[in-house]
Structure 1
């Protein structure tokens, strides 16, 4: 297995490739902002999404260099870039922040890919225009527009998987619009034959309690108000009913296993974007959004999921607004931004007695926070050299703590800079650095997660020094980037296990910090007119600083030291296509109930696909057969929660002319 892993890594470096990294791009925040010019940005467009048959944001991000995905014990699928935590990563959709402020994250497996035209990630130094909590990176989703081709698609596979939907576009002289809708159903996640699940697993083929039903819809209207003004309005709605796998390495008798279901998880976000151009050199872009998130958590007494012990209902309402002014004067570019996010969280915890709810539910706990970010950036372009500088401040007001002890307000600052220089028409070098911060969330400060966590209102904000120095090459047949990076973190927020009244609880704590040194290699190459190779490699050494000079193990949980991907694709002129892909996940560690780091399994998995495209009655038809993890390899991102085993699926897509 190690020999195979070495071949995969070598192929990634030798080919210097990735389907994600066709170009370094300029990413929109409010449909037009830019990231730091010297930073590394990865793009996945609508064609790429079709190629990998993505049905959710998590499917797409699994191809991103440096992205490590895992589904935690709450059932949330999260992305870690370059070893940074998921709460350090900002997620945007059509200019609006999608993360739920209560915990500053979102289950990316629930976000449908059908509504996305382009997904971009910035794992390093991102623009201050993105606002607070971006020390771990940015995920930016641009939705489908009125120019999108009308289409219908459906696919099905093992585990009772069925997914389908359609996209429609059109419009008149003044307004144009697009609408997308879809559904996903799954009886359960497939279970690899090598999964080491000692508890809470009765079925040998499907993982316990991993069924899912999802409905989603998206609509967007666009118009031009004269030559210099534009306006758009969009809405995204997601409704999900699903279960989560219990941690299979834990004995249910020690009261530490989550037997949870989400009978209701509903997410709706509406966004209005407006652009005003008073002069040719000045533009003012505005985005306002409203986000409503409701979920119900049922906690059961055992893995039979027959008797409810506790019920938690959450309601989150978020209002956001961002105003960006941009002025160009010759080789100089100046931007200023103000972002305000006001978030309210209401939570009701109901304890059942022998499976019976009380006659009167307790009153909800109410939480309220407001975040304000103010910043500015300057860019200078002189010939083949570009310089960028930025500074911002983030201010958090804790307005209501649900009766918990006060945590006070927070104020942090961010500073970024970068320089990019083109050596010739093929080679370029860059350097970017910055100080970015991440504020603690109210869930980390005050949340108990149905008696699973001990609160800690004394948490401090994290800060990180980010440094990156990419070297880039591109010609007609080969493009690659080699990007050494460093992340020096202070007050890193992690967790520990504590015993309180004979109960094993978790608690968020501040560590002294951590140090991460690594390198990314990515790109793609055309071997022949029909054959291409692509891949990426991320290797890093991430360690936390010792606490009180202790010589304890200094790992951070679930952070693989190496991630690699290599793919080979063939395209025939008659419409036949084929691809094979290898993915390697290196050594990582997970913290057990005794605060001991346990090594997770290394893994090398393989995916393959064959497809055929043809025309039928003026429509383009594509049929495919795909096998993910066809070797049925054990992939273990976290103790007791392995990734799905082999999944074979097939489907078709029909596009209008």
Structure 2
């Protein structure tokens, strides 16, 4: 699998080098193939995290980068994967991209953001609401768009160690060599266990470390880019290998169906090719192609001892996709045409123990297509608008040993208006309709006997409305973003009489709330940051046994005080609060998740100047007060964790 991806990328890299040695020695501008934002385009609410902010927060993983962004929740799900949710939507409704290519494995529609080191990133953009058409189908709640480092952002290295055997390290070399833009990165993350903040009732023999929560992950990344005339090209390759445990549910006894699982092997290889061509006359062609190979082994055990195997599952996924966007001017309009296609094949073998008899090798395939157009226009002085329409479709030509599924399609539409209010204030109104099709796993995956299939699952549909006010003055910025989401056929889970779960479509649900943020420079060295979300999410009456949607906190808030004296120190204190929520227990009954708060501290102190670069000592403490926080029933967040390290930037 990895060999095929490496070979494909080496051919592309050779082509880049050939073009680069013959091309002009001009600097390669970034190729933005998702949500390119010229002045006339109006986008829904978005948050951009720059390289300076990334370094300041001292994140270990790409998941840590998103913590504290208004409207974004980062948590570990019941499979131990660290996922992102936008405005309380399910993680599969939030699409994740890396350099323009989808990063999630299509079979499951999710990606573990806790396995990749944050040092790889150059910037991050979070788009909420009706996402632009380039992102294709399934972007119901919004988008997390990761961009890797390039030479303008410089090289970087960091290594740290902490409590309970935790540690991380990453090195990124981003340089321009003649006409070639080159980025090479390596990173690793490890821990013996997550710290435990308080007692748990079941499946928790240790008092200070979470059962079966170890992790070892390593990654390699390489990218080469060049430009010749009006053509820009960049090829990249990411490889990730990991193994980790999955902490068991601690709110129920073993006989209630507790998941005693491990992932002994996880591997992801993704090759991406980005192309940009300026055609003159305000016309531009942008394209991205990607090839992803993914494999994993799931081991299911009989007890909390993790000694006797019950069953294993071997997964192997191959994905090929591409996107093309053509932007041009037509009279007073600026048009963007976008089309994307992706095909993904999933192979799966389950083996029962102690017989060690392997079952049949099942093969599934899902094809996803999307095409649309957007138009930008100036409606009046200080008033601009963007209108969009798209068509999405999916089919499942291979369904293993399950019945065939009909092909599905849906239309999408959006509109956004930007009003320049003067005095550094801008008001944006946006909205639209988006659809998410069930993943192949939701349709056909039984999760080692945990789920009962529902062959009648329908696509999720959502109407999204946003109003965003941005006001900036010297040293002060304010963002206020009320939103309303009306969902139909949202996928939920119910617990059956035998303890297994089944996915089903709610008739409808309504979510509304406000995202807000304030950044204020109190002085030249002291900055105050406040951000948060207030959320209400309810299913329609009669649609579900419990109307309040589970695992949706009533609020999330972050307060930050950052004291940065250049050349001497950078100190950062964070207070994060989480409101009350509910979850469902093993019988499907509602249980309360209490409100909680945690404190984190960060420090970076320069110790040496090496030319244009600095060497710094870093120190961090997460969850300083060792607060017990439950994002979901029986699966708490980590307790207090300290770490110390060295950073070179």
Deviation at 1:142, TM superposition (A): 0.9
Alignment of 1:250-649 (within 5 A): 250-254=252-256, 256-329=257-330, 331-353=332-354, 356-358=355-357, 361-381=358-378, 383-499=381-497, 503-547=498-542, 552-618=545-611, 619-649=613-643
SS state at 1:423 partner = strand
* Contact 1:156–1:163 (CA under 8 A) maintained in structure 2: yes
Q: Which moved further from structure 2: 126-135 or 382-391? A: 382-391
Deviation at 1:123, TM superposition (A): 1.9
Is the counterpart of residue 66 in structure 1 residue 71 in structure 2? yes
Deviation at 1:487, TM superposition (A): 0.2
Deviation at 1:99, TM superposition (A): 1.2
Over the residues paired in the alignment, what is the CA RMSD in angstroms?
1.6
Distance 1:414 1:221 in 2: 36
- Listed one character per residue, the Cα deviations across residues 215-265 of structure 1 (whole Å, up to 9, x for unaligned) are 101111010022x111110011110011110001110023x1111110100
Distance 2:638 2:584 in 1: 21
Q: Which moved further from structure 2: 567-576 or 290-299? A: 567-576
TM-score computed with the length of structure 2 as normaliser:
0.92
Instruction: In structure 1, list runs of 5 or more residues that go unmatched.
Output: 1-26
SS state at 1:363 partner = coil
Deviation at 1:411, TM superposition (A): 0.3
Deviation at 1:329, TM superposition (A): 4.5
User: Which of 125, 144, 153 is residue 149 of structure 2 equivalent to?
Assistant: 144
Highest relative contact order (Cα 8 Å, sep 6+), 1 or 2?
1
* Contact 2:34–2:134 (CA under 8 A) maintained in structure 1: no
SS state at 2:52 partner = helix
* Contact 1:38–1:431 (CA under 8 A) maintained in structure 2: no
Deviation at 1:426, TM superposition (A): 1.1
Distance 2:438 2:116 in 1: 24
Aligned pair in 2 of structure 1 residues 557, 147: CA closer, same or farther (>3 Å)?
same
Deviation at 1:465, TM superposition (A): 0.6
SS state at 2:169 partner = strand
- Structure 2 equivalent of residue 5 of structure 1: none
Is the counterpart of residue 88 in structure 1 residue 75 in structure 2? no
Is the counterpart of residue 49 in structure 1 residue 47 in structure 2? no
* Contact 1:69–1:637 (CA under 8 A) maintained in structure 2: no
Instruction: In structure 2, list runs of 5 or more residues that go unmatched.
Output: 1-29
Distance 1:521 1:649 in 2: 31
Distance 1:31 1:418 in 2: 17
Distance 2:120 2:332 in 1: 37
- Structure 2 equivalent of residue 126 of structure 1: 131
Distance 1:28 1:88 in 2: 26
- Structure 2 equivalent of residue 221 of structure 1: 224
SS state at 1:239 partner = strand
SS state at 1:253 partner = helix
* Contact 1:153–1:164 (CA under 8 A) maintained in structure 2: yes
Deviation at 1:624, TM superposition (A): 1.6
- Listed one character per residue, the Cα deviations across residues 290-320 of structure 1 (whole Å, up to 9, x for unaligned) are 0011000000000100011100010111001
- Listed one character per residue, the Cα deviations across residues 563-585 of structure 1 (whole Å, up to 9, x for unaligned) are 11111111124421212111010
Aligned pair in 2 of structure 1 residues 28, 171: CA closer, same or farther (>3 Å)?
closer
Distance 2:162 2:558 in 1: 24
- Structure 2 equivalent of residue 23 of structure 1: none
Distance 1:164 1:521 in 2: 33
Distance 1:489 1:203 in 2: 42
- Structure 1 equivalent of residue 243 of structure 2: 241
Distance 1:143 1:310 in 2: 38
TM-score computed with the length of structure 1 as normaliser:
0.91
* Contact 2:581–2:593 (CA under 8 A) maintained in structure 1: yes
Deviation at 1:151, TM superposition (A): 2.8
